[in-house]
Amino acid sequence: MTADRDTYLRDISVLLSKIWPANRTVNIVCHGHSVPGGYFGFHVVNTFNAYPHLLHLKLKERYPMALINVIVTAVGGENSESGAERFERGVLCHKPDLITMDYALNDCGIGLERSHKAWSSMIEKALSQNIKIILLTPTGRMDDKAEILEQHAEQIKSLADKYGLGLADSFAGFKNYCLNGGELSDLMSWINHPNRKGHEIVAEKIMQWFPILSPGEIK
DSSP 50: S
Half-sphere CA count of 26, side-chain side, radius 13 A: 26
- Write the pLDDT tens digit of every residue in 161-205: 999 999 999 999 999 999 999 999 999 999 999 999 999 999 999
pTM exceeding 0.85:
yes
Strand residue runs (E) in the chain: 25-32, 67-72, 98-102, 132-136, 166-168
- Write the pLDDT tens digit of every residue in 110-152: 999 999 999 999 999 999 999 999 999 999 999 988 999 999 9
Q: 116 and 155 in contact (C-beta within 8 Å)?
A: yes
Give CA–CA dist 39/141, Å, rounded: 14
4 pLDDT more than 80: yes
Give CA–CA dist 157/93, Å, rounded: 27
